[in-house]
Amino acid sequence: MKREIWVGAESPGSDMKRAAAKKLIERYFYQLTDGCGNPQCDNQHCASSGKVTNLTPNQAAAQAIQLFSQEARLCDGTQPNKVARTTIEPGPASLAKSLPVKSVNPTCSVEGKPVPYLTEPKLLDIIQQCKSEESYSLLIRTLGEVFSSAEALSRSFQKSAENDSPLAALLDRAPVDLLGPPRDLSKEAVRSLQGEDKEEDSSDPSPTVPHPDDTSVDLPAVRRAFTALWSLPGEAFESALVHALVTLADNIELDLRVFGIVPSDSTDSLLNVFLIVFEIPVLGSSEYLELALHMLCKAASCLPLTAQAKLARVWARHSKPRLQALLQALQQLITVKVIGGSFTRDYCVQDADTITAPTKVMKILYYASMLAGELDGPELRRDEEGDAGELEKTSTQRTSTQALQDPLAVELKICSLDARKPFVPFNDFYNEPLSDAIEMDKDFAYYKSEQPKKFSFMNYAFILTPATKTLGLYYDNRIRMYSERRMSFLQTVVGQPTNPYLRLKVRRDHLIDDALVELEMVAMENPTDLKKQLVVEFEGEQGVDEGGVSKEFFQLVVEEIFNPDYGMFTLQDDTQTTWFNPTSFESDAQFTLIGVVLGLAIYNNVILDVRFPMVVYRKLLGRKGAFADLEDWSPTLYRSLKELLDYTGEDMADTFMQTFRVGYKDVFGYELFHELREDGDQIYVMQSNKREFVDLYADFLLNRSVERQFKAFRRGFQMVTDESPLALLFRPEEVEQLVCGSKNFDFAELEAATEYEGGYTVDSEAVRNFWRVAHALPPESQRRLLQFTTGSDRVPVGGLSRLKMVIARHGPDSDRLPIAHTCFNVLLLPDYGTIEKLQDRLLKAINYSKGFGML
C-alpha cells in the first residue's frame, strides 16, 4: 500500500485527515480509560473488559496512538467525552467541581477553593442521577453554585476543555511518523469524525485559525444541555436558577459600575457568561421575565463598548437561530413594563431602567441581526468628505453630523444603511406600546441635553415606529423655525429688520419659474433662511397660509416639475417611478432647487405625491446604487441580469452575445452607447467577468449616468436637512414614508379618529350620511375628499388614524357647498336633509375645489 503523508503543505487534505485521525485516537483513549459501558465486553483494549490495567493519562494517550496505528478493534458506542477526565475529582459529590483555577472575578469565588463549572456530560450525569434518586437536591445545588458565579459560569461549556487533556497535547505535538501507517478512511468517515459536533462555520476555509469573532463557549452543547434540563419538571429547579441569575447579574453590574473598564481577559469571561445565560430558552416567561431577564439586561448594558461589539459579532456568527427568540423576550419585557407602569411627567418611561436596560441590549441584538444578514460592502458608501466640500459645510455642521453616529455602530464599522437584508426584519424591532407611551417632546429634550446625559429613545430609533419618530423630527424642525424667528426679531430690534418667515409669492400660471427663482435667490444669499417656516402666497388670491396653502403649493409644484414632459425626470415604464433624466439640458441649479423643495416638504411636515424608487432614498442618506437596487428600479432588467449571473454554461458569449458596451436612450428617443470598460465593445461577457459586468452596468445606470443631476439634487436636499436628525432616526424605506406618506389607505381609521364640533356628534344624521357616502366612494374620489379636507391626498405616516380631522356643523340645510379649512383639517358641512343632497354637494365640492373652496 502506498503510504500517504498526512501532515505537510504538499497534501491538500492533510489537515482534514489529521483531524479525523485525532478523533479516532480519542475514541481509543476513552475506550482504554472509561470503557464502552458493556459489562460483557471481551475487547482486551477496553476498560469495560477488565483486561486493561490502571493507566495514567499519559500512558493511555501513548497506547491509544499505538492502537490506532495497528487498526485495533474499537468497541461500538465509544465516543470521546470532550472533557478531560483527569481534571474531575472522584466521587458523585464532585460532579460540578473542577481543580482550582485562577480567579477571573474576585467577587465571585473564594481564593484557594475549587471553582464549580458545568459541561454537557456533567449536567446530563447530574440529571440522570437525580432521576434515579428521585431527588433534585444535587441539581439545585449545582445550578445555584454555577449560575450565581460569573467565574464559574465563564468556565462552563468550554470548547477548550477537550484540549486540556494529555492526549490532546500529545497529538498536537506528534510528528507524522508517530501516527503510524495511515488508516484507509473514507471521505464520509473523515467528515463524520472531523466534524461530528460542528454546527457552525463548516465552510471556513481555515478552521484551525482562530476567528476574531469566535468564542470558547460550545454553544451547541449549551443548547443541548438546556434542552435536557427543561425536559424535567420546571418546579424542580427553576426557582433556584432564577435566584442564581439575579445574584449573578447583581454581582456583574456592581463590578462593572465600581471598577469601570475591565481587563480584556475578564471581558472575554463576562462575554462567555452572557452568551450562556441568553441561551436559556424560557427567558421570556414567568419569573425569568419579571426578575432574571431585567437584571441580566442591566448587567449587560454596563459592558464596555468593545465588549458589546464583540457580543454582537459572536451572536451574528454563532447564535442566528437564537436571535428571533431573544428579541421576542426583550420585546415582551419592555411591553409588560410599559403597560404595567405608572408614568407621569416627572417619572416617564425614559427613567425606568426596566425599560431602558432591555432597550440597550436590543441595540446589540439589532446590530447582530444586521451582521448576520446581507451587508453591502464599504465601497458603496459615498465620499462624504467630497460631498461636504461641495456643500460647503461649516465645521459646526460637520461636528453635528459626526455626533449623530452611534458609538456601537462606529465600533462595528457598520450602520443600518449597510444592511441589505437583516437576519431579523427591521419591523420586528418596533415596539408599538412603547412608541405610544413616549412623550416625544420630553424625549427630544433629553436627546438635546448634554449634562447630565439623559436616556433618549431617539438614540435607539430602531425600537420606535415611524409615526413616533416623525414627531421627534417635527419637534426638531419647529425648534429650528422658532430659533430663526427669534433671531429675526433680535435683528429687527437692533435696526437690521429681516423677515421671520421664508415667504414665497408665486403666480399659478408661472408657478415653477416664480418658485425656483425665489428659492435660488434665498439659497445664494442666505441658505439659513431655508430653515425658517415656509409661508406661501398665491398672487391675486386671498388667504393666510397656516399650512393649507403650502400643501397646495407643494402638490402643484410636484405635479408640474416631475412630469416627464418637463424634461428633468423620466418615467420608468415597468414600475411607473420617477428617475433622473441622464440627458437633461437643465442646469445643476435647477436640480439643486428640486432637492430644496423635497427638503422643505419634509421640514414643513408636508407629504408629497412623489414616486421615486427606493435607491433614491438610499442615495440621499449616503449610499451608492448597486445591482440589488435594480430589482426595485427596473424588475425586468434585474431578472435579465440575474439570469446572466445564474447561467453556468461555458458558451455564454455565444448565448448572450453581450459585450461591455451598453445602450440607452436620450430624451428624444435616440439610442446612445456607453463602454463600461475601455474598448468594451471588443470584450464579451464570460463566466470569468460576468459579475464585473453586472456591477459596472448597475453602477452606470444608478450612479455614473446621473451623477451630475443627483449630486445637485442631494446638495439642495441637504441645505434644508443637514442639521436635522433625519439620518439618525430614519432608514431609506422610512424616509419614503416621510416623503410620500403611508400606503395604508383606510377610511375606517379616519372615521374612528375624526372629531365633531358645532352641534354635530357621531350620531348626527348628517354625520352618518357623510360616512355612508365617503365609504362608498371609489378610491380616487376618496383621495380627492382627503385633499379637499386636509390639503393633501397622501396618508400621513402611521395611517389615517394619525390624521385628526374635524367635521363642524355649518348651518342648517341649504344649497351651499361644503367648505374646508385645510390648515386645520376642518370640514364645514351644512346639515343637509337627505343623503342624496349631501352626496351631490360633496362631490361637486371635491371635484371643482382647486384654487377655491379651501381656506
Low-confidence winner among 151-160, 162-171, 404-413, 504-513 (lowest mean pLDDT): 162-171
Q: Which of 342, 341, 261 is nearest to 302 (CA)?
A: 261
C-alpha cell recorded at residue 304: 464596555
pTM of the model: 0.75
Terminal CA-CA length for the chain: 98
Express each pLDDT in 461-474 by its tens digit.
999 999 899 988 88
CA distance 376 to 381: 9
CB 562 within 8 A of CB 610: yes
Express each pLDDT in 334-370 by its tens digit.
999 999 888 887 889 999 999 999 999 999 999 999 9
Q: Which of 601, 621, 712 is nearest to 404 (CA)?
A: 621
Q: Which residues are catalytic?
A: 823
SS3 821: strand
Is pLDDT larger for residue 388 or for residue 256? 256
C-alpha cell recorded at residue 621: 442618506
**Could you identify the residue written with the cell 407602569?**
341
CB 22 within 8 A of CB 42: no
Name every residue whose Cβ is closer than 8 Å to that of residue 275 and which is 6 or more positions away in sequence: 215, 217, 219, 222, 311, 314, 315, 319
Q: How far is CA 663 from CA 446, 703, 796, in A?
A: 54, 16, 40
Express each pLDDT in 256-313 by its tens digit.
887 665 555 577 888 999 999 999 999 888 788 888 999 999 999 999 999 999 999 9
CA distance 475 to 484: 14
C-alpha cell recorded at residue 552: 397646495
CA distance 458 to 448: 10
Question: What domains appear along the chain, each with residue ranges and CATH number?
Answer: 14-80+161-195 (no CATH), 111-158+216-303 (no CATH), 628-702 (3.30.2160.10), 747-847 (3.30.2410.10)
Is pLDDT larger for residue 392 or for residue 250? 250
Cross-strand bridge partners of residue 828: 808, 819
Q: How far is CA 816 from CA 704, 758, 761, 810, in A?
A: 56, 17, 21, 9
Express each pLDDT in 552-605 by its tens digit.
888 888 888 887 777 888 888 888 888 998 888 788 888 888 898 898 888 888
Q: How far is CA 510 from CA 513, 515, 541, 590, in A?
A: 6, 8, 14, 15
463: how many CB neighbours lie within 10 A of its CB?
23
Q: Which of 534, 730, 453 is nearest to 614 (CA)?
A: 730
Express each pLDDT in 187-246 by its tens digit.
444 444 444 444 444 444 444 455 667 888 999 999 999 999 998 886 778 889 999 999
